[in-house]
Amino acid sequence: MKYYVVTFTHTKIVGWAIFLHAHVKYLKKLLDGKKLRAAGVYENNPLSGLSILSVIDAAEAEAIMKEDPFVKKLGASYQVIQWDPKFGEFK
């Protein structure tokens, strides 16, 4: 498995509230499936966040993100970057 860091952002405050439950449910499903290792919003910008995925390749990370309700229904933008941790919990 490889790690991928995903950053995402959106600008639709009203849409955020409408799709939050579906987004959290999706994240919990990924956690249960061991695909998601960590996720959260930036403290000073709750319209942006970061996730760490543990998946086979970049294509799987992209597929996961395309199914996220914030991306599918809210139009959130995201960037997937492969990450190679050298120290800490993820090594």
pLDDT, one tens digit for every residue, the chain (91 residues): 999 999 999 888 777 888 899 999 999 999 999 999 999 999 998 889 999 999 999 999 999 999 999 999 988 999 999 999 999 988 7
Count Cβ atoms below 10 Å from residue 72 Cβ, excluding itself.
15
- What pLDDT score was predicted for residue 35? 98
- What pLDDT score was predicted for residue 86? 94
Count Cβ atoms below 10 Å from residue 36 Cβ, excluding itself.
20
